[in-house]
Amino acid sequence: MVKIKVCGITSLADAEKSLEFGADILGFNFYPPSPRCIAPEKAREIIAQLPRASFNVALFVNEPKARVNEVLAAGRLADGRQGYGGLQFHGEEDGGYCQGWDLKVIKAFRVKERASLNGLKDFPADYYLLDSFSAGYGGSGKMFPWEWLDGIDSSKVLLSGGLRVDNVVEAIRKIQPFGVDVCSGVEARPGIKDHGKLKEFIDAAKGA
Protein backbone atom coordinates (compact mmCIF):
# COMPACT_ATOMS: atom_id res chain seq x y z
CA MET A 1 0.00 0.00 0.00
CA VAL A 2 1.20 3.50 -0.81
CA LYS A 3 2.94 5.36 2.01
CA ILE A 4 1.64 8.78 3.04
CA LYS A 5 3.96 11.53 4.22
CA VAL A 6 2.49 14.63 5.85
CA CYS A 7 5.03 17.43 5.81
CA GLY A 8 5.24 20.76 7.61
CA ILE A 9 4.17 19.48 11.03
CA THR A 10 4.24 22.34 13.57
CA SER A 11 1.91 21.17 16.35
CA LEU A 12 1.19 18.07 18.41
CA ALA A 13 -2.46 18.13 17.32
CA ASP A 14 -1.50 18.00 13.63
CA ALA A 15 1.01 15.21 14.26
CA GLU A 16 -1.46 13.13 16.27
CA LYS A 17 -4.29 13.58 13.77
CA SER A 18 -2.00 12.66 10.87
CA LEU A 19 -1.10 9.39 12.57
CA GLU A 20 -4.67 8.74 13.72
CA PHE A 21 -5.92 9.09 10.15
CA GLY A 22 -3.25 6.75 8.81
CA ALA A 23 -0.16 8.75 7.82
CA ASP A 24 3.05 6.74 7.71
CA ILE A 25 5.65 9.52 7.78
CA LEU A 26 5.75 12.96 9.43
CA GLY A 27 7.95 15.74 8.10
CA PHE A 28 9.49 18.46 10.28
CA ASN A 29 10.83 21.46 8.37
CA PHE A 30 14.06 23.13 9.56
CA TYR A 31 14.39 25.59 6.66
CA PRO A 32 14.21 29.05 8.32
CA PRO A 33 12.56 30.99 5.45
CA SER A 34 9.63 28.57 5.37
CA PRO A 35 6.40 29.51 7.19
CA ARG A 36 6.38 25.85 8.29
CA CYS A 37 9.79 26.00 9.93
CA ILE A 38 9.86 24.59 13.44
CA ALA A 39 12.44 25.04 16.20
CA PRO A 40 14.36 21.81 16.97
CA GLU A 41 13.29 21.98 20.61
CA LYS A 42 9.59 22.29 19.68
CA ALA A 43 9.91 19.38 17.26
CA ARG A 44 11.45 17.24 20.00
CA GLU A 45 8.59 18.11 22.38
CA ILE A 46 6.08 16.94 19.78
CA ILE A 47 7.95 13.76 18.85
CA ALA A 48 8.40 12.81 22.51
CA GLN A 49 4.60 12.54 22.82
CA LEU A 50 4.10 10.44 19.69
CA PRO A 51 4.06 6.63 19.50
CA ARG A 52 7.47 5.01 19.24
CA ALA A 53 6.54 3.70 15.81
CA SER A 54 6.14 7.20 14.38
CA PHE A 55 8.59 7.63 11.48
CA ASN A 56 9.79 11.22 11.58
CA VAL A 57 11.80 13.00 8.89
CA ALA A 58 13.91 16.13 9.36
CA LEU A 59 13.93 18.44 6.32
CA PHE A 60 16.89 20.70 5.46
CA VAL A 61 17.87 22.98 2.60
CA ASN A 62 21.56 23.48 1.79
CA GLU A 63 22.66 23.30 5.43
CA PRO A 64 26.21 22.49 6.56
CA LYS A 65 26.43 18.95 7.86
CA ALA A 66 27.33 20.33 11.27
CA ARG A 67 23.95 22.10 11.48
CA VAL A 68 22.12 18.93 10.47
CA ASN A 69 23.91 17.04 13.21
CA GLU A 70 23.03 19.76 15.74
CA VAL A 71 19.34 19.43 14.94
CA LEU A 72 19.52 15.64 15.11
CA ALA A 73 21.24 15.85 18.49
CA ALA A 74 18.52 18.22 19.71
CA GLY A 75 15.97 15.63 18.62
CA ARG A 76 17.32 12.91 20.87
CA LEU A 77 14.62 11.86 23.34
CA ALA A 78 14.91 11.35 27.07
CA ASP A 79 15.17 7.57 26.71
CA GLY A 80 18.12 7.98 24.34
CA ARG A 81 16.19 7.31 21.14
CA GLN A 82 16.89 9.42 18.10
CA GLY A 83 13.66 11.23 17.28
CA TYR A 84 14.22 11.02 13.53
CA GLY A 85 14.30 8.04 11.23
CA GLY A 86 14.99 9.95 8.06
CA LEU A 87 16.51 13.04 6.48
CA GLN A 88 15.08 15.02 3.58
CA PHE A 89 17.44 17.24 1.61
CA HIS A 90 15.50 19.75 -0.44
CA GLY A 91 18.24 21.96 -1.88
CA GLU A 92 21.27 21.52 -4.12
CA GLU A 93 22.87 18.79 -2.03
CA ASP A 94 24.98 16.50 -4.20
CA GLY A 95 25.51 12.76 -4.00
CA GLY A 96 28.53 13.05 -1.76
CA TYR A 97 26.61 15.14 0.75
CA CYS A 98 23.73 12.66 0.82
CA GLN A 99 25.94 9.68 1.62
CA GLY A 100 27.24 8.53 4.99
CA TRP A 101 24.21 9.30 7.15
CA ASP A 102 22.92 6.67 9.57
CA LEU A 103 19.31 7.53 8.70
CA LYS A 104 17.21 6.99 5.59
CA VAL A 105 17.81 9.76 3.05
CA ILE A 106 15.13 11.35 0.87
CA LYS A 107 16.51 13.61 -1.84
CA ALA A 108 14.11 16.11 -3.32
CA PHE A 109 14.21 16.90 -7.02
CA ARG A 110 12.53 20.14 -8.08
CA VAL A 111 11.07 19.22 -11.45
CA LYS A 112 11.14 22.12 -13.89
CA GLU A 113 11.33 20.08 -17.10
CA ARG A 114 11.68 16.44 -18.07
CA ALA A 115 15.47 16.80 -18.02
CA SER A 116 15.29 17.59 -14.30
CA LEU A 117 14.84 13.86 -13.77
CA ASN A 118 17.98 12.81 -15.63
CA GLY A 119 20.09 12.30 -12.52
CA LEU A 120 17.50 10.34 -10.61
CA LYS A 121 18.49 6.78 -11.46
CA ASP A 122 22.03 6.79 -10.07
CA PHE A 123 21.67 9.35 -7.28
CA PRO A 124 22.71 7.84 -3.91
CA ALA A 125 19.57 8.22 -1.83
CA ASP A 126 17.04 5.80 -0.39
CA TYR A 127 14.06 7.66 -1.84
CA TYR A 128 13.40 10.51 -4.26
CA LEU A 129 10.81 13.18 -3.57
CA LEU A 130 9.62 14.77 -6.79
CA ASP A 131 8.10 18.24 -6.50
CA SER A 132 7.33 20.91 -9.06
CA PHE A 133 9.94 23.62 -9.41
CA SER A 134 9.25 26.88 -7.59
CA ALA A 135 11.30 29.97 -6.88
CA GLY A 136 13.11 29.40 -3.62
CA TYR A 137 12.86 26.03 -1.93
CA GLY A 138 9.34 25.95 -0.57
CA GLY A 139 6.78 23.43 -1.69
CA SER A 140 5.29 24.48 -4.99
CA GLY A 141 1.68 23.51 -4.38
CA LYS A 142 1.56 22.81 -8.13
CA MET A 143 1.70 19.66 -10.24
CA PHE A 144 4.26 18.85 -12.90
CA PRO A 145 3.25 16.73 -15.91
CA TRP A 146 3.09 13.17 -14.61
CA GLU A 147 3.84 11.78 -18.07
CA TRP A 148 7.42 12.95 -17.52
CA LEU A 149 7.75 9.94 -15.22
CA ASP A 150 7.02 7.44 -17.98
CA GLY A 151 9.80 4.84 -17.95
CA ILE A 152 11.07 5.81 -14.49
CA ASP A 153 11.12 3.22 -11.70
CA SER A 154 8.62 4.66 -9.23
CA SER A 155 9.33 2.17 -6.44
CA LYS A 156 11.52 4.73 -4.63
CA VAL A 157 9.50 7.82 -5.56
CA LEU A 158 7.61 10.02 -3.14
CA LEU A 159 5.31 12.06 -5.37
CA SER A 160 4.66 15.63 -4.30
CA GLY A 161 3.51 18.89 -5.82
CA GLY A 162 -0.10 19.99 -5.89
CA LEU A 163 -1.59 16.80 -4.50
CA ARG A 164 -5.09 17.19 -3.08
CA VAL A 165 -8.02 14.95 -2.28
CA ASP A 166 -9.40 15.45 -5.80
CA ASN A 167 -6.30 14.23 -7.64
CA VAL A 168 -4.34 11.95 -5.31
CA VAL A 169 -6.18 8.79 -6.39
CA GLU A 170 -5.43 9.47 -10.06
CA ALA A 171 -1.79 10.19 -9.19
CA ILE A 172 -1.35 6.94 -7.28
CA ARG A 173 -3.04 4.82 -9.94
CA LYS A 174 -1.06 6.41 -12.76
CA ILE A 175 2.40 6.63 -11.15
CA GLN A 176 2.21 3.81 -8.57
CA PRO A 177 4.78 5.57 -6.35
CA PHE A 178 6.28 4.29 -3.13
CA GLY A 179 4.50 7.16 -1.44
CA VAL A 180 2.84 10.55 -1.70
CA ASP A 181 3.81 13.72 0.13
CA VAL A 182 1.27 16.38 1.08
CA CYS A 183 1.59 19.73 2.80
CA SER A 184 -0.24 22.79 1.49
CA GLY A 185 -3.05 20.65 0.03
CA VAL A 186 -4.30 19.85 3.55
CA GLU A 187 -3.66 23.17 5.27
CA ALA A 188 -6.01 25.73 6.74
CA ARG A 189 -3.14 28.20 6.44
CA PRO A 190 0.65 27.76 6.10
CA GLY A 191 1.86 25.54 8.90
CA ILE A 192 -1.61 24.68 10.23
CA LYS A 193 -3.42 21.58 9.00
CA ASP A 194 -7.13 21.41 8.23
CA HIS A 195 -8.03 18.14 9.89
CA GLY A 196 -11.04 17.58 7.65
CA LYS A 197 -8.95 17.91 4.49
CA LEU A 198 -6.22 15.82 6.09
CA LYS A 199 -8.57 12.91 6.79
CA GLU A 200 -10.17 13.10 3.34
CA PHE A 201 -6.75 13.08 1.67
CA ILE A 202 -5.41 10.13 3.65
CA ASP A 203 -8.63 8.13 3.21
CA ALA A 204 -8.52 8.74 -0.54
CA ALA A 205 -4.84 7.81 -0.82
CA LYS A 206 -5.23 4.66 1.25
CA GLY A 207 -8.20 3.60 -0.82
CA ALA A 208 -6.59 4.22 -4.22
CA distance 168 to 184: 13
Cβ atoms within 10 Å of 124's Cβ, excluding its own: 13
What's the CA gap between 6 and 181, in Å, rounded? 6
What are the start-end ranges of the E strands in 66-116? 86-89, 104-111
CA geometry: angle at 87 spanning 202 and 193, to 5°? 35
Go through 151-177 and write b for each residue having 16 or more CB atoms within 10 A of its CB, e for each that does not: eeebebbbbbbbbbbeebeebbeebeb
Distance of alpha carbon 154 from its chain centroid, rounded? 16
Could you tell me what percentage of the chain is helix, strand and coil, using 3-state DSSP and rounding each to the nearest 5? 35, 25, 45
Tell how strand 3-6 and strand 25-29 pair up: parallel
Q: Which residues are catalytic?
A: 7, 131
| Residues comprising the chain, all counted | 208
